[in-house]
Amino acid sequence: MVAMRTPQVTDPPGAATAGLGNVIEVGGLRQSYGDFEAVRGVSFAVPRGELFALLGTNGAGKTTTVEVLEGFRAPTGGSVRVLGLDPFRQRRRLRPRVGIMLQEGGFLGDLTVAETVGLWEGLSRDAGRPGTSAAPAAPSGAFPLLGRHRGTDPRTTDALEAAGLGRKARTRVRQLSGGQRRRLDLALAVISRPEVLFLDEPTTGMDPEARRATWKVIEDLRAGGTTVLLTTHYLEEAERLANRLAIMHEGRIHLQGTVEEVVAGSGDRISFRLPGISWAFGELPSLDGVAPILTYGGDTGNTGGTGVAYTLNGGRAEARAHAAVRRLLEWADERGETLERLAVRRGTLEDAFMRVAGEAPLDGPPDGEGTGAGGALRGAGDGPVAAGPAREGE
Ligand SMILES: Nc1ncnc2c1ncn2[C@@H]1O[C@H](COP(=O)(O)OP(=O)(O)OP(=O)(O)O)[C@@H](O)[C@H]1O
């Protein structure tokens, strides 16, 4: 497949660090493990009170980037600042102002949930004593239960309630399920009411209800002024929570912007099915120079049939879709073909992700039918091979 090289919605290296009021600033970050460069020049900035989501393929470098920002390792190259401080060299000053939810928390299995949170709360408080920066005031919405309980440390109780672990306070950590451990991780990350919160795949392993509860905690924290950096594999999570996001692949950010900006480059998808055994697909027109992607068989079982999909970019979206549908209907009328389940839909974040990952732009059968088992053929018809737009850093 030929990829067009049109840069889209990206900032040049270093540009992200230029703005004032950014709580997180990353400029041309590089990070190597021995000979292997896991992060290859990443730049972004997060203003105060915003949530920035890092999406990406497995091994893209998300956790490595976050770990540098958390101060766990000095960057191999480039610059990073959190609250204006160097997270590695000034880690002690930053610690009381930052909440961290690692991908895997290390717990003492014999402690109860409440003991774990209480212990962590004590450590966080100690870290904020004179000589370091004081912990900020609590964001009002994030801890609605603060002070309601008597006899227990209210911070502990409140963090447990916020994370949905109120009933598990006396349970030993080793008896928690995977999802409940993630909730405990969250409780520990937010207990110091951080100014900046790093969340590395916070909802992995959570059931849908717990995920929504976690989103609410995050939204409340952000509404209270907390700046959040989130990594996630759940696109709907990023779509719901993020002010801005970036999609990483192999150590680089390929797309960056608001959800709308990132998705805008995905174009429209026009899909339909040619029923039964039809050879008309060999004569399908190209639309604006874009050839269709075809998918055979699969979901249609014994009836055969061919899924046809075009991904169109360029020009005004409505006019583009209108002209394309008219052309296809003309084509079908001329040949006496029926375009079954003809559909037009705007690009999605998943489309953008798949493009970055270098995979086919959803080359399955028409929308809502699953991917089927059929093989896909690109570039049939009279146009050039379908081209994926918008790649940064190539
Ligand atoms: N300590 C390490 N030593 C050597 N290589 C490492 C180390 N940690 C990570 N890597 C490699 O660096 C690359 C980036 O890893 P990283 O964990 O940052 O990716 P990620 O985007 O968070 O991935 P995932 O989504 O799978 O969690 C991977 O190829 C990984 O194998």
CB distance 175 to ligand 1 below 6 Å: no
CB under 8 Å to 219, separation ≥6 — which residues? 241
Burial string for 330-353 (b: 16+ CB within 10 Å, else e) reads ebbeeeebebeebebeebbbebbb
The closest of 356, 55, 104 to 233, measured between CA atoms, is 55
In testing the pocket of ligand 1, which one of 62, 245, 247, 249 has its CB within 8 Å of the most ligand atoms? Answer: 62
Question: Phi and psi for 231 in degrees, rounded to 5?
Answer: -110, 145
Ligand 1 pocket mutation, candidates 32, 33, 200, criterion most atoms within 8 A of CB: 33
Give the number of the atom of ligand 1 that is nearest the alpha carbon of residue 61.
Answer: 18
Tell me the CA distances in angstroms from 377 to 306, 310, 365, 374, one per residue in order.
10, 12, 12, 10
133: left (phi over 0), alpha (psi -120 to 50) or beta: beta
| Helical axes 178-190 vs 154-162, angle rounded to 10° | 130
Measured from the CB, is residue 73 less than 6 Å from ligand 1?
no
Q: Which of 162, 161, 192, 188 is nearest to 173 (CA)?
A: 188
* pTM confidence score: 0.72
Distances (CA, A) of 321 to 30, 117, 214, 241, 363: 41, 55, 39, 30, 18
Q: Is 229 helix (H, G, I), strand (E, B) or coil?
A: strand
Report whether residue 59 contacts ligand 1, using a CB cutoff of 6 Å.
yes
Amino acid, single-letter form, for residue 330: E
Count of C-beta atoms within a 10 Å radius of residue 140: 12
What is the residue-level pLDDT of the chain in tens, covering all 394 positions?
333 333 344 443 434 444 458 999 999 999 999 999 999 999 999 999 999 999 999 999 999 999 999 999 999 999 999 999 999 999 989 988 998 887 766 666 667 777 777 777 666 665 554 433 333 333 333 333 333 333 467 777 777 887 788 787 888 888 888 888 888 888 888 887 889 999 999 998 888 888 888 898 899 889 989 999 999 999 999 999 999 999 999 999 999 999 988 988 778 889 998 876 666 667 888 888 888 888 775 444 445 678 888 888 766 767 888 899 999 999 999 988 889 999 998 888 998 898 888 753 433 333 333 332 222 333 323 332 222 223 343 3
DSSP-assigned letter for residue 2 = P
- Sheet containing 376-378, strands listed edge to edge, beginning at the edge strand earlier in sequence: 340-346, 268-274, 306-312, 293-296, 376-378
Helix (H/G/I), strand (E/B), else coil: 268: strand
Q: Which phi and psi angles does 31 have, rounded to 5°?
A: -145, 125
Nearest C-alpha to atom 5 of ligand 1 is from which residue? 33
Q: Is 264 in the pocket of ligand 1 (CB under 6 A)?
A: no
Cα distances (angstroms) measured from residue 268 to each of 321, 322, 346: 7, 11, 5
Q: Report the Cα 1 to chain-centroid distance in Å.
A: 25
Residue nearest to atom 1 of ligand 1 (CA): 33
What does the alpha-carbon distance between residue 76 and residue 53 come to, in Å, rounded to a whole number? 23
Separation of 79 CA from ligand 1 center, angstroms? 20
Q: CB-based contacts of 335: which residues, under 8 Å, 6+ apart?
A: 280, 283
Contact (Cβ atoms closer than 8 angstroms) between residue 11 and residue 44: yes
Q: Is 254 in the pocket of ligand 1 (CB under 6 A)?
A: no
